[in-house]
Amino acid sequence: MAVGKKQRPAGRVMIFLCGLASVVILAVLISILGYILARGLPGLTLDFFLKTPQPVGLAGGGMAHAVAGSLILVGLACLLGITWGVAIGVYLAEYGGRTFGWLVRFSADVLNGIPSIIVGIFVYSVMVVKMGHFSALAGGAVLGVIMVPTVARNTEEMLRMVPGELKDAALALGIPFWKVVAFVMLPTVARGIGVGIVLAVARVAGETAPLFFTALNNDFWPAGLNEPIASLPMEIFRYAISPFKVWHELAWTGALVLVTIVLVFMVLARILLYGQRPKEW
């Protein structure tokens, strides 16, 4: 009892410090979001989503080309990141105990920690230099590569949660292994895998540095996947460092839209994670 009484003041201090840290973090987040909202909301009109930028000195215009470009880049990234990420995750879940599986897992963890600008330089070397120009394909490829390790490791962890009895029962019925994976195991943890995919998309949607070396930028509507393409992060950066007040206002509105997109993805991830009670076996 004496020991418990001595620990109580220390416990209260720790609770206070943890609560204080939480309040500080929450205050910083609210301050950032509030400032972006205050600066970006006045320019959030329909023209922002329907029009391209006006020449310098003219009011109005928008970032419709950048919004469309970001959607295209994220779509291309998902084609690569989801397919390869899920496939690698399945391999790690089933054969991760082998030497090659350990190497793949280690490589995924290392790739997940490499700065995105390094990945951008790599894709620039293997794609942009060979193609001779920047393109949406290169931009989608670099974002897809960034997605792969997150999706792969999340898929692996989700598949390891599938009860072994479920897989054994399906195999005992004579179902081929690939069908067991595709129609039994993956659907069982589809929501968990979806959470990882949504978080990976939220991450790459705001990437800027790798796009400098791959997709570059464009002031017009996307002309094709083999051409340079605009994106919201790139346009926000370009407008923010410009000397023109009109462009600064557009940059703040673009930042508000981008933050809103990321928040929507975060909320969607929460819905996928907690929106349905886990199945009981």
pLDDT of 278 over the 50 cut:
no
DSSP 8-state secondary structure symbol assigned to residue 215: T
pLDDT of 238 over the 80 cut:
yes
Backbone angles phi, psi at 2, to 5 degrees: -65, -40
Residue 64 contacts residue 218 (beta carbons within 8 Å): no
pLDDT of 229 over the 80 cut:
yes
Mean pLDDT of 223-235: 93
Which amino acid is located at 139 in the chain?
A: G
Residue among 137, 136, 145 at smallest CA distance from 117: 145
pLDDT value for 11: 79
- pTM over 0.75, yes/no: yes
pLDDT value for 276: 52
Where residue 80 falls among pLDDT bands split at 50, 70, 90? very high
More confident residue, 4 or 124: 124
pLDDT value for 157: 94
pLDDT of 112 over the 80 cut:
yes
pLDDT of 280 over the 70 cut:
no
Residue ranges of domains in the chain: 2-43, 49-274
pLDDT value for 5: 52
Mean pLDDT of 90-115: 92
pLDDT of 117 over the 60 cut:
yes
Q: Which CATH architecture has domain 49-274?
A: Orthogonal Bundle (1.10)
**Cβ–Cβ contacts within 10 Å for residue 168, how many?**
11
Q: What is the mean pLDDT of the chain?
A: 90
- The CA distance from 185 to 44, in Å, is 44
pLDDT value for 214: 95
pLDDT value for 96: 85
- The CA distance from 215 to 5, in Å, is 63
